[in-house]
Homo-oligomer: A and B are copies of this chain.
Amino acid sequence: MAMRVKEVADLVGISVRTLHYYDEIGLLTPEKTTESGYRLYTDDDLEELQQILFFKELGFPLKKIKEIINNPSFDRHKALVLQRKMLLEKRRRLDKMIATIDKTIQHMKGEIQMTNKEKFEGFDFRHNPYEQEARELWGDEAVDKANAKIGSMSKAEQEAMVRAMNSIYKKLAALRHGSPESEEAQAAIKEWYDFLNHNFGNYSLEAFKGLGQMYVDDERFTKNIDQFGEGLAKFMRDAMAVFADQNKK
């Protein structure tokens, strides 16, 4: 049942190299490989690839796509519905371009006049009406909110905040060679969870878990965090996942 690279490539209409690349960057890693190292794609992998290609068609960068679909709170159904809307929008743009070409042909024959603005209708990509909706569903709203809040604080407030964060970071760094499930680790992580909720508004447990994953995936976070101890980011991700799972049900 499982398919090999070229078979997938031919079915989908992309290159083998592209599949290799997606594997390399961790965007689409086939579920299995043979002993000799051949990649084997299952039907599930194909569905994920389909998701990826929808995003790609809409102009999302691969890095972003990875973030979105790896997010534990990713909702495939919502995604498809919004993507549908965005594809329809894209089609409207295309219709405009076709209208523009028609006008241009008439204009060439001298049949009509055209303003400069009219000559470029359909090209402008900058304002997609579903951008906001997309940001809400997939954006880094949480991160942006935090950044905005930090930006709006006075210097003194910022320093106080940094001190508070550092103290929690240090506590965690001291524990990072132990188990993420230990009582101390979980207590420190709870402190972290409460701190974030207090300062940056409500994080769901799922979002909290997703944030932990981001600490590892996004090097801006990793760098910052690992200053307090190598491997701290990974440790926090694990501890945050444990915390979320334990407090969920």
Which residues of A line the B interface, CB within 8 A? 11-14, 43, 46-47, 50, 53-54, 57, 76-77, 80-81, 83-84, 87-88, 90-91, 94-95, 97-98, 101-102, 104-105, 108, 116-117, 119-120, 123-126
Contacts and interface: CB of A to CB of B under 8 A. Distances in A.
Per DSSP, chain A at the interface is helix
Given A50-B120, A84-B98, 5 more contacts: A12-B120, A13-B123, A53-B123, A80-B105, A91-B91
B11 A117 contact: yes
Which of A47, A101, A105 has the largest number of chain B CB atoms within 10 A? A101
B11 A116 contact: yes
Contact of A98 (B53, B87, B97, B98): B87
Q: Which 6 A-B pairs have the closest CB atoms?
A: A13-B124, A12-B120, A84-B101, A91-B94, A50-B119, A80-B105
A57 B96 CA distance: 13
A96 to B, nearest CB: 10
A98 B89 CA distance: 11
Contact of A90 (B50, B94, B116, B124): B94
A13 B120 contact: yes
Given A98-B91, A119-B46, A120-B50, A126 B13 contact: yes
Contacts of A97: 54, 57, 87
23 contacts: A11-B120, A12-B124, A13-B123, A13-B124, A13-B125, A13-B126, A43-B116, A46-B116, A50-B120, A53-B123, A54-B97, A54-B101, A57-B97, A57-B123, A76-B108, A80-B101, A80-B108, A84-B98, A84-B105, A87-B97, A90-B94, A91-B91, A91-B98
